[in-house]
Structure 1
């Protein structure tokens, strides 16, 4: 991967010359969604922390703004398009590109939107919006965004609407599944990386299907054609935590599965 900047760091692009690897492919031959989000996260690290131009610039001066801080993922909204599931059918793996732009700035939070497309044809495979809360590394409490940073970049926001994912509460009679968090899901910020929760949802859903817990969602292969994921996080989780996961089929939309996670009796996801 390598990153480039446009308009003084207001936009960033990351080229992905070799996107597909063995671990990226699910048993049905489709791309694992947690691996996709892992790739998107790596692209964010590259443009935010690795110099992307001769002056040493990064996307939105992110490395300078985050000095002494880290981010907690508050919400994620991802949409996948038909061509995403056709990548594996292309004879030659296409060169892909991730484009980053700023989409919201709050007091201590910001959103960025990432678009994954084909470098040659321009086809859009997926887009994902991430809203993160900036956390003081010492206190692990929310920290306000620096005034100098807001003045420099606030004008370039596209959309300027916070990403709000409504909190849902598990229904009576929901299927339950417990997951012990492994150490391998720990990230650089010393908490569980958000991509791992996608895998926990899949594990829970597979178990629910095997046990006939969903009224109409019976075919496991449908989990390989997901068109969207909405996630909201309320607290950090750590290795050896036990996640208590509840899942149910949305009564108003049987194609939608809902998940609720708690840890130590408190809401987590």
Structure 2
């Protein structure tokens, strides 16, 4: 899903002005946060060989970041299967700090700048102090890094899913128990806070949301540094 969004953005939405122009291209793009809703149609229609359609639309353009929405539909029925909201940041490749978007991009999408309300993006949450956490540790492997030598964004999802799977089997949660594969994922949110690299030891802390036992929250840490936060909500008929 992220790859489809990246390809659409690079090929259609963020192409700089014509050849010979001195206008700069985007320097280095990081994902700040992503949120995905998996609707019942996803589990009804997803099958090998079945067609889907992907729509990517810009919803807001800020000073250093932009927000896009992605929808994936079942091609034969046009039923919505997945809806996602992504926030990306333009970053300086040398300073590793947010960089203002090029003027040509802000001018091209001036109708989506600060005058347009920004769709809700992923926000940080506080870890509770009175909840027992299930913990899982992992060492970042070479095949889990990207071309920038960072831990690949999808790797954090697998670390958290592994943590949740072990926690469910060990009885760490009140509703999610046993084989986690029997529960369909309803919602996923990820907030990328800091970078990690090959060889780093990451500690994944997970706990059941106090107000919603069908929801697990995760804080991935490197020592005392917060690296990534995730939230996973599952379809549970008893909730």
- TM-score with structure 2 setting the length: 0.83
Partner of 2:225: 266
Which one of 71, 89, 92 corresponds to residue 29 of structure 2? Answer: 71
Q: How does 1:35-46 map to 2 (within 5 A)?
A: 40-46=1-7
**2:85 corresponds to 1:124:** no
- 1:49–1:63 contact (8 Å) kept in structure 2: no
Partner of 2:59: 103
> How far has the Cα of 1:162 moved from its partner?
5.2
> How far has the Cα of 1:223 moved from its partner?
6.0
**2:167 corresponds to 1:208:** yes
In structure 2, do the counterparts of structure 1 residues 120 and 233 end up closer, same or farther at CA, with 3 Å as the change threshold? same
- 1:180–1:241 contact (8 Å) kept in structure 2: yes
- 2:31–2:87 contact (8 Å) kept in structure 1: yes
RMSD, aligned α-carbons:
2.4
**2:117 corresponds to 1:163:** no
Write 1 or 2 for the structure with the bigger share of strand. 2
Q: How many pairs align?
A: 221
**SS of the residue aligned with 1:107?**
coil
In structure 2, stretches of 5+ residues that fail to align are: 229-239
Q: How does 1:1-269 map to 2 (within 5 A)?
A: 40-50=1-11, 58-61=12-15, 67=25, 69-88=27-46, 93-156=49-112, 160-161=118-119, 163-169=121-127, 171=129, 172-221=131-180, 224-269=183-228
- 1:68–1:136 contact (8 Å) kept in structure 2: no
**SS of the residue aligned with 2:63?**
coil
In structure 2, do the counterparts of structure 1 residues 184 and 170 end up closer, same or farther at CA, with 3 Å as the change threshold? farther
In structure 2, do the counterparts of structure 1 residues 227 and 239 end up closer, same or farther at CA, with 3 Å as the change threshold? same
**SS of the residue aligned with 1:184?**
helix
Q: Distance in 1 between matches of 2:206 and 2:176?
A: 12
In structure 2, do the counterparts of structure 1 residues 204 and 170 end up closer, same or farther at CA, with 3 Å as the change threshold? farther
In structure 1, stretches of 5+ residues that fail to align are: 1-39, 51-57
> How far has the Cα of 1:244 moved from its partner?
0.8
- 2:133–2:207 contact (8 Å) kept in structure 1: yes
**SS of the residue aligned with 1:61?**
coil
> How far has the Cα of 1:80 moved from its partner?
0.3
Q: Distance in 1 between matches of 2:161 and 2:182?
A: 8
Q: Distance in 2 between matches of 1:98 and 1:176?
A: 36
- TM-score with structure 1 setting the length: 0.74
